[in-house]
Structure 1
Amino acid sequence: MDSEELYQLKSYFYQANYKAVIDHPLPEEDSPSYLPSLIYSLRARLALSPASPLPQAKDPSLAYRAVAAFSSYLRAADKVEGLDELREVVLEVEGEEELGWEEGVVRVLSATAFWREGETEEALDTLSAEGARRDLECVALTAQIQLSLNRADLAQKTLEAAKKWADDALLLQLVEAWVSLRTVRPSVRQTCTRVLNLSCQIPPNYNSSYYTFLELTTVPSPSATLLVNRAIAQLCQGNVPEAEGSLAEALEKDPSNPEALVLNARAGSDEALAKIKQVAPDHPMLKALSEAEARFEEAKTKWEVPPLATASA
């Protein structure tokens, strides 16, 4: 059971309120909450400033070593060395028992790096260990990867399995909101297909996601990331003016928030696209865009553009 202070710290972290995590005072070093609180604080620092090196630990734990390896990966020009360092830490937790929350930190950070580098299968393998299945952060990342693969059905199964033991945890609510944006409630599907005999495409349960993000953004200072999530849910509902308002609020709160910039760029802002290249040069959107441009240039070489037709006299 987490202490009240650690519970609050984790809540800030899951809501992407990283400054609040950093500003939250750490407990005494002899407290059981000290190490997990320190790890969340260091991870929050990396989220806000990936290029900043971490302070050295006197007696580095597995969790600290995973954070340090992830930091090295983020700062490295050659990502291969950083990935190998993370793999070494993962190997140390393989076969170990009763590592508790530290195993979750090792696996979720390593899997995040693997996923960012396109090693999706390795990321899912890292998250499939028995210890990871009982760690909510590992569950959340698993669902995110599955959704990125357009396997909402698998993400739904991951969510349902976690519901059996995770009660109504905040992170589980967020996972359910993400999944709800991509899946249809069984009751709705059954009504349309069996009672009404409809074969049309049924929209996912956007309202459920919207109300989750709405509730989480009614606090005095919601994070820009949560506001972006609310904007996405509003877009899915077709409420474009409301979504634009949420996005504007997110950009006002944090003009350099990568996800807010991505959503703005997708809305057609060239300025936002240019800024993403500055603040998040490794963002998956930029990688996908670069790959698409390369494929387009390759395709152009295979076709000869005919000359423009001219009017005859």
Structure 2
Amino acid sequence: MDELFELRNYFYLGNFPAAVEEGTTIAVESDATRIERDVILARAAIARGNHDEVIQQVSDSSPVAMQAVRLLAMYRKDPAGQREIAELTLREWVADPVSGSNPALLLVAAIVFSEAGNYDDALRCAHNGQSLEHSALKIQILLMIDRADAARKELEGMKRTDEDHTLTQLASAWVNLAAEDADTIREALYTYQELLERHGSTDLILNGIASCQLALKQTAEADATLQEAISRNPNCPETLINMITVAHQRQKPAELIARYFAQLQTVDPGNPWVQSFIAADALLSALVASPPV
């Protein structure tokens, strides 16, 4: 019996309140299971923006898996300020013959490296992990660098391991959404809709549906989906990014778009999308201010 099955499933689907409730009430028998439970609960706290909660609860004497998650919390809280020390520390831990094979450490390292744009190290860490979650993360990284072909190959491996697993279903949706033809994108949409029917609404599922609708030029439907998402959680970065995209496409008032962007900057100032937008805006302002040649 997998004691953490429900907890993992809630986490994978982005149902963090349910994950916390499950994780704080479930009884676990072994130390290894307890550590894995604590790692998932800490990651759920990070996903909800509760970085300080994790930073304060984990000490230098905690298991390496929990120390890795604390490092993730520190990085997510201040990406620019913590990037160098986070990458340096993770490289040391991954190279260590004792800690280097720890699944949670490899997962966190792959996450941090990918968010820092260090895709080679990210892929290496994800590849060295043995779980479906490592494979799913590897697929996300491959899609970031426009390697949909390699991502689909990795997905086939996940399907051979467990075709019905929630992570396999999610990875299938990610890969199909990255396709260029409408029929394949519709397959991604159907997958998200099936997950919605089976598990209910979460930020992850609703944003997945909205992303498919946007890719299919269904902007009105995407708008309606995102309105549901933002009414559930007005502070979800993915929802706010998609709301900005839909607002642009539907030519909504600039004041509304500015409000969404200000909210996004408040809840997730280090978000790569925010940083890219600010950099592009600064470049445009500099070009406008430059005297003609």
Asked whether the two chains share a fold, i.e. TM above 0.5, the reply is yes
Corresponding position of 1:65: 67
TM-score by length of structure 2 reads 0.85
Q: Which moved further from structure 2: 83-92 or 245-254?
A: 83-92
The DSSP-based 3-state class of the residue aligned with 1:115 is helix
Corresponding position of 2:187: 208
Corresponding position of 1:117: 116
Alignment coverage as a number of residue pairs: 278
Change (3 A) 1:73 1:222: same
Cα contact 2:192–2:209 (8 A) shared by 1: yes
Corresponding position of 1:35: 35
Deviation at 1:113, TM superposition (A): 1.0
Deviation at 1:300, TM superposition (A): 4.3
Paired residues for 1:7-156 under 5 Å: 7-24=5-22, 25-28=25-28, 30=30, 33-54=33-54, 55-56=57-58, 60-76=62-78, 77-92=81-96, 103-129=102-128, 132=129, 134-156=130-152
Paired residues for 1:120-269 under 5 Å: 120-129=119-128, 132=129, 134-183=130-179, 202-203=181-182, 205-219=184-198, 221-267=200-246, 268=248, 269=257
TM-score by length of structure 1 reads 0.80
Deviation at 1:93, TM superposition (A): 5.5
Corresponding position of 2:254: none
Change (3 A) 1:242 1:86: same
Deviations 1:57-91 (A, max 9, x none): 69622321211221232234342122222222222
Change (3 A) 1:179 1:93: farther
Cα contact 2:87–2:113 (8 A) shared by 1: yes
Deviation at 1:31, TM superposition (A): 6.4
The DSSP-based 3-state class of the residue aligned with 2:52 is coil
Overall identity of the aligned pairs, in %: 26
Q: Which moved further from structure 2: 148-157 or 120-129?
A: 120-129
Cα contact 1:70–1:86 (8 A) shared by 2: no
Cα contact 2:10–2:18 (8 A) shared by 1: yes
| Structure having the higher Rg | 1
Deviations 1:95-149 (A, max 9, x none): 96xx5xxx332112111111112222221222232xx2x3212211111121122
The DSSP-based 3-state class of the residue aligned with 2:108 is helix
Q: Give the RMSD, CA atoms, in angstroms.
A: 2.5
The DSSP-based 3-state class of the residue aligned with 2:197 is coil
CA distance in 2, matches of 1:265, 1:254: 15
Change (3 A) 1:72 1:125: same
Corresponding position of 1:287: 275
